[in-house]
Chains A and B, each alone.
With several copies, the nearest count.
Chain A
Amino acid sequence: MQDTNTSFPETAANGTAAPEHAHTLTKAQLKADKPTWCPGCGDFAVLAAYQKLLEKLNVPQESIVTLSGIGCSSRFPYFVNTHSVHYIHGRILPFTTGLSLTRPDLHPFVFIGDGDAFSIGGNHFDHCARKNVRMTVIVMDNQVYGLTKKQTSPTSPVGFRSKTDPWGSKVTALNPTKKLISSGASFVARTIAANPAHLLEMLEEATNHDGFSVVECLSECVQFNGGCFDGAVPRKGGEFPLVPDDHDVTDEEAAYALTKKRFPGYFGVYYKSRRPTLNETEAEIVGQAESRPKGLLASEVLMSALERLT
């Protein structure tokens, strides 16, 4: 029996392997397929911000993983040149959980739409948040199903006319930040594709957070929900209210209260707190278990287990 004694790769302080040397990436290196989004789609700005983030991140290109579910937004992985995964609708969070737990040396970034995240995939958010699995998730919220051409999404506002609500949606919309805060996400921020500087700032903060970090990014669907976010874009006559300076990001109730503000709502970091990640607690369990049969090879451990059954 080949003895590999497979274990979690050595875990650095915050669970990621420290880069040995500088790995500045260029835009050219990160370029992949030409995006197939509609001209003017908000998603372009998210892609640009991600590429900028990676340029600044200073980690080896091969350690970045871009993952997504299904949707216009979820086409993301094809447009950036990293290891990447285009999974199925609504389940990329548990997929990334498996990856994150077994490969602490990687940087998993998940990009998904509001339908993928909160309709079919809603439960996985709650449990990833509760378990605090280390990954960064960017929800590109256009308040509509883009890829399937304009059906109501959980985040569609009341009155939104879609092909499945021709008379306007009558149902309370899901509030992403509220959901995320209450389910225990340890980093929750909100931004908009139309404000690239703010977007990049939020991505950086999320990336630096050790735990389950989620950014809700309003990203306009020009095709099926054009103008929906104008109210949050100053140059279109809207306003861009930042989370108040005196907000305590570690205060869950205060963060929850922030989510009450009507559209356009607050932008910035709502909640941020450090608590053990599932990655850490699992690594601890492994650490304790492995230390017991000291220095034994996997096959020796197995052999003695089997011998106990004779």
Chain B
Amino acid sequence: MKDQSLPALDKDPADGASILSVPRTIRDSVIRIAGNSQDGIQSVGAMLARLAGRSEMDVMTYMTIPATISGGPSIFQVHMGAGEVLTPGDTSDILVAFYQHSYEDHLDNLRDGGILLYDSTHVRPDIGVLRARRITPAGVPMTSLTIEVLGGTGKQKGKNIFLMGLLARAFDLDMKKVRKLIKERFAGKDESVVRNALLALNGGYAYSIGNVMSLYSFEEPEATGRPKVTMTGNQALAYGAIAAGVRFGAAYPITPWTEVMEQLRRDLPHYGGTFLQTEDELAAISAALGAAYGGTVSMTGSSGPGIALKSEAISYAVMAEIPILIVDVQRGGPSTGLPTNVEQSDLNQALHAGHGDAPRVVMAPANVEDCFYLVIEAVRIAHKYSVPVMFLSDQALATRIEAFNLPDLSTLKQVPPAPREALATHMAYDLESITCHAPPGTRIKDGKYPNITGLEHTENGHPSANPKTHAAMTAKRRDKLVALARELPPPEVYGPREGEILLVGWGSTGGIIRESVDRAASQGRTLSSLHLRHLNPLPEGLEEIFLRFQHVFVVEMNDCDTNGCGHLGRLLRAETCLKRIRGITKTDGLSFRVREILQRLPEVETAAETP
């Protein structure tokens, strides 16, 4: 939790302190770089993030992806600092504007009293406006200086690295580390590329922006001794899957899932596994199920449209009881929707895709670190209960970079491939125990080999339309989830255990909701929050928790019903029948901001709920 009492860049312009008045150490800062997608702003952003990680700072990034292939305006925002960084930042402390359109589109996002660092080759700011908002302008002819430094061949390619130098100077960053980063970034490239990059870096570092920005240096974070990794949610998910024991995967490309499969395709062979790009999503889940049947820990994934195509096979996985991880990196929907925007509107699909009574597990990571650890838990659950697990990431998590402690692999449990020792006898669908298939290759000594099937079946997998059998098998499939629910960690409330308002969330909004609680506290208002990683089955004890609050607001990025509830809100209402559960939902394709959440809370309205 970010300690609000430490000196920080003023988040609240109302306190009147000018940024120019005193030189100070800052705890965290939000830097937004706005340019075009071709400018390499993503690599500066990523380097800044990595640098933060290497300095044991916390970091979270945010980026937008231009809607067209040919590129276009794009931003990359880095929130880094010594405290716990929970959001990519509602507003920025520093705006870097490469072009006039960057300046115009993003000035609103710069907080009053912030700093505008602009490329004076392209941008002409409106000084009147800046003055009124107490924004400090710092114009640097980045384009022309870069060309100058690199020898005037007209390349502006180093502009981003030049900017890196500027920022290194402004924040008093460790130049040794920065140079190392740059060398790593261009490793394998031509010598001259690295040389040019270092030239540009030094050029930026040497340029004096005046006394505006050289005044800041980040507070020293507490040394934990444990190095930090920085990566995107998609990367963390892929590494988590590998750590979990996944050795086969199959999928079809789709934004924003694609990087997961690309990485697994590249990396799995190093672990003796493989990843298959199939002709479509139906083939993908089928191949993954085939491998899982073979005893290999297996997964598939997609985004909303592709998961829809997998629906029939998901129903099969439930019926045949095949363990499998199914990742949905959600984007804006419905249909092709908003492919490069964020939304949490696939929860209903995750819960209900496919026909018939088909209970499956649904889980969602709260942040990048979770993408790594929770996927390991998901794979464990899939195998313990022979059940498909739907894993709901989203576009925001997929693309944002966060830092977290280098995992200690020795403490993690990996699911091994299914054993194939000979068995005396085997019933595929034993009613007395949780299903655990004997993979093909297993000798069954009594000579009766098992059938795996999507027809309703007897305990040994033969078709049966017997009424009792169907009822018993339906219960068997459902009861696994009941057993899992009992095993889940009890939900933890952040903030006071009872009170006026509880915010409930799931998925990528984890940090934003916690930050909302903190921000409210700093404004003198007490909130609590609860973040659900397990959406089906839900952990036990939710009703008791909700009853301790007058209002329960479920914050989610999806559409609401007439009661104002989104997907999770409705689920929780169905589960607990509490009308105090309402929703704070939106469908604009953007991540929540702390401000948006706080603004939508009732004004000290404490009237008890009507039943």
Q: Identify the A interface with B (CB < 8 A).
A: 1-8, 29, 32-33, 36-39, 41, 60-63, 65, 70, 72, 77-78, 81-103, 105-106, 119-120, 122-124, 126-127, 145-149, 151-152, 154, 163-166, 223, 282, 285-286, 288-290, 292-293, 298-299, 301-303, 305-307, 309-310
Contact = CB atoms under 8 A, between A and B. Distances in A.
B162 interface: no
Tell me whether chain B's interface is mostly helix, strand or loop, or mixed.
Answer: mixed
Nearest to B286: A94
B444 A62 contact: yes
Contacts of B490: none
Contacts of B267: 305
A289 B289 contact: no
B195 interface: no
> Which 9 A-B pairs have CB atoms at the shortest separation, nearest pair first?
A7-B272, A98-B290, A289-B269, A36-B68, A98-B287, A94-B283, A83-B440, A98-B291, A94-B286
Given A163-B262, A298-B272, A310-B229, A99 B454 contact: no
A205 B8 CA distance: 70
Given A94-B287, A164-B262, A151 B253 contact: yes
Contacts of A99: 290-291, 293-294, 440
A133 to B, nearest CB: 10
B407 A103 contact: no
B455 A286 contact: no
B251 to A, nearest CB: 9
B416 A4 contact: yes
Contacts of A78: 451, 462-463
A126 B448 CA distance: 35
A149 B65 CA distance: 13
B449 A83 contact: yes
Contacts of B452: 84-86
A97 B290 contact: yes
B69 A146 contact: yes
A285 B231 CA distance: 26
A124 B320 CA distance: 22
Given A65-B440, A88-B312, A223-B69, 4 more contacts: A38-B71, A101-B276, A301-B271, A309-B231
Nearest to B405: A310
Contact of B451 (A3, A77, A301, A303): A77
B417 A4 contact: yes
A26 to B, nearest CB: 10
Interface residues of B, number: 93
A101 B284 CA distance: 13
B70 interface: yes
B453 A94 contact: no
A222 to B, nearest CB: 10
23 contacts: A1-B414, A38-B69, A38-B71, A39-B70, A61-B447, A77-B453, A83-B442, A85-B451, A86-B451, A91-B282, A93-B283, A96-B290, A119-B252, A123-B280, A124-B279, A145-B253, A148-B254, A152-B277, A166-B266, A298-B242, A298-B272, A302-B242, A307-B227
B196 interface: no
Interface of B: 50, 53-54, 67-71, 227-231, 235, 239, 242-243, 245, 247-248, 250, 252-255, 258, 261-262, 265-267, 269-274, 276-284, 286-298, 305, 312-313, 316, 320, 335-336, 406-407, 409-414, 416-417, 439-444, 447-455, 462-463
Nearest to B282: A91
Nearest to B420: A62
A305 B239 contact: yes
Contacts of A97: 276, 278, 283, 286-287, 290
A101 B289 CA distance: 12
Given A6-B245, A38-B69, A83-B449, A95 B414 contact: no
Contact of B69 (A3, A37, A166): A37
Contact of A6 (B247, B320, B441): B247
B69 A88 contact: no
A2 B53 contact: no
A148 B69 CA distance: 9
Contacts of A164: 253, 261-262, 265, 277
A302 B284 contact: no
Contact of B272 (A103, A152, A290): A290
A70 to B, nearest CB: 6
A126 B312 CA distance: 21
Nearest to A163: B262
Contacts of B312: 88
B279 A310 contact: no
Contacts of B247: 6-7, 102
A99 B441 CA distance: 12
A87 B317 CA distance: 10
Given A8-B272, A123-B279, A146-B69, A310 B406 contact: yes
B248 A98 contact: yes
Nearest to A300: B409
Contacts of B68: 36-37
Contact of B250 (A41, A84, A98): A98
Contacts of A88: 286, 305, 312-313, 316, 335-336, 454
Contact of B294 (A87, A106, A119): A106
A106 B440 CA distance: 8
Contacts of A87: 286, 289, 316, 454
Contacts of A303: 409
B418 to A, nearest CB: 11
A103 B294 contact: yes
Contacts of B294: 98-99, 102-103, 106
